[in-house]
Amino acid sequence: MVLDVESSVQSKCLEVVGSAVFSNLVSYDRLSTDHQKMAWSLLNILADATSVNLWFVRNYLNFICLLLFVLFILIRFII
Protein backbone atom coordinates (compact mmCIF):
# COMPACT_ATOMS: atom_id res chain seq x y z
CA MET A 1 0.00 0.00 0.00
CA VAL A 2 2.83 2.42 0.76
CA LEU A 3 4.34 1.89 -2.68
CA ASP A 4 0.98 2.67 -4.24
CA VAL A 5 0.74 5.92 -2.28
CA GLU A 6 4.30 6.86 -3.19
CA SER A 7 3.79 6.17 -6.89
CA SER A 8 0.55 8.16 -6.95
CA VAL A 9 2.27 11.05 -5.19
CA GLN A 10 5.17 10.90 -7.68
CA SER A 11 2.70 10.87 -10.54
CA LYS A 12 0.80 13.83 -9.08
CA CYS A 13 4.06 15.69 -8.50
CA LEU A 14 5.07 15.28 -12.14
CA GLU A 15 1.61 16.41 -13.19
CA VAL A 16 1.77 19.53 -10.99
CA VAL A 17 5.30 20.47 -12.05
CA GLY A 18 4.48 19.87 -15.72
CA SER A 19 1.34 21.92 -15.40
CA ALA A 20 3.18 24.74 -13.63
CA VAL A 21 5.76 24.91 -16.39
CA PHE A 22 3.75 24.29 -19.54
CA SER A 23 0.55 26.10 -18.60
CA ASN A 24 2.53 29.28 -18.00
CA LEU A 25 4.51 29.33 -21.23
CA VAL A 26 3.98 32.42 -23.32
CA SER A 27 6.13 34.05 -25.95
CA TYR A 28 9.33 35.25 -24.28
CA ASP A 29 8.69 38.85 -25.31
CA ARG A 30 5.24 38.76 -23.59
CA LEU A 31 6.41 37.77 -20.10
CA SER A 32 4.44 39.63 -17.47
CA THR A 33 3.89 37.42 -14.40
CA ASP A 34 6.30 35.70 -12.05
CA HIS A 35 4.79 32.33 -13.01
CA GLN A 36 5.61 32.94 -16.66
CA LYS A 37 9.14 34.02 -15.77
CA MET A 38 9.59 30.92 -13.57
CA ALA A 39 8.53 28.62 -16.41
CA TRP A 40 11.10 30.15 -18.76
CA SER A 41 13.78 30.16 -16.06
CA LEU A 42 13.27 26.47 -15.39
CA LEU A 43 13.39 25.65 -19.10
CA ASN A 44 16.57 27.72 -19.49
CA ILE A 45 18.20 25.84 -16.63
CA LEU A 46 17.21 22.50 -18.15
CA ALA A 47 18.47 23.57 -21.58
CA ASP A 48 21.86 24.57 -20.14
CA ALA A 49 22.91 21.03 -19.29
CA THR A 50 25.80 21.71 -16.96
CA SER A 51 26.10 19.39 -14.01
CA VAL A 52 25.65 22.20 -11.48
CA ASN A 53 22.37 23.33 -13.05
CA LEU A 54 21.05 19.79 -13.33
CA TRP A 55 22.02 19.16 -9.70
CA PHE A 56 20.13 22.32 -8.68
CA VAL A 57 17.02 21.39 -10.68
CA ARG A 58 17.04 17.83 -9.38
CA ASN A 59 17.31 18.97 -5.76
CA TYR A 60 14.67 21.67 -6.26
CA LEU A 61 12.21 19.23 -7.82
CA ASN A 62 12.94 16.63 -5.13
CA PHE A 63 12.16 19.28 -2.51
CA ILE A 64 8.87 20.17 -4.21
CA CYS A 65 7.92 16.48 -4.43
CA LEU A 66 8.70 16.04 -0.74
CA LEU A 67 6.49 19.00 0.15
CA LEU A 68 3.66 17.62 -1.98
CA PHE A 69 4.06 14.22 -0.35
CA VAL A 70 3.89 15.70 3.16
CA LEU A 71 0.87 17.80 2.16
CA PHE A 72 -0.83 14.71 0.70
CA ILE A 73 -0.22 12.73 3.91
CA LEU A 74 -1.46 15.58 6.12
CA ILE A 75 -4.62 16.02 4.07
CA ARG A 76 -5.24 12.28 4.06
CA PHE A 77 -5.08 12.08 7.86
CA ILE A 78 -7.11 15.26 8.44
CA ILE A 79 -9.98 14.30 6.15
Q: What's the pLDDT tens digit per position in 54-76?
A: 777 778 878 887 888 888 778 87
Whole-number pLDDT of residue 72: 79
38, part of any domain: yes
d(CA 48, CA 55): 12
16, part of any domain: no
Give the structural domain span for 42. 1-6+32-79
15, part of any domain: no
Whole-number pLDDT of residue 1: 35
Whole-number pLDDT of residue 75: 81
- 48 secondary structure, DSSP code: S
Of 68, 31, 51, the C-alpha closest to 41 is 31
Is the pLDDT assigned to residue 5 strictly greater than 70? no
25, part of any domain: no
Number of domains in the chain: 1
Is the pLDDT assigned to residue 26 strictly greater than 50? yes
- The amino acid occupying position 27 is S
Is the Cβ–Cβ distance between 9 and 66 less than 8 Å? no
Residues 6+ apart with CB under 8 A from 73: none
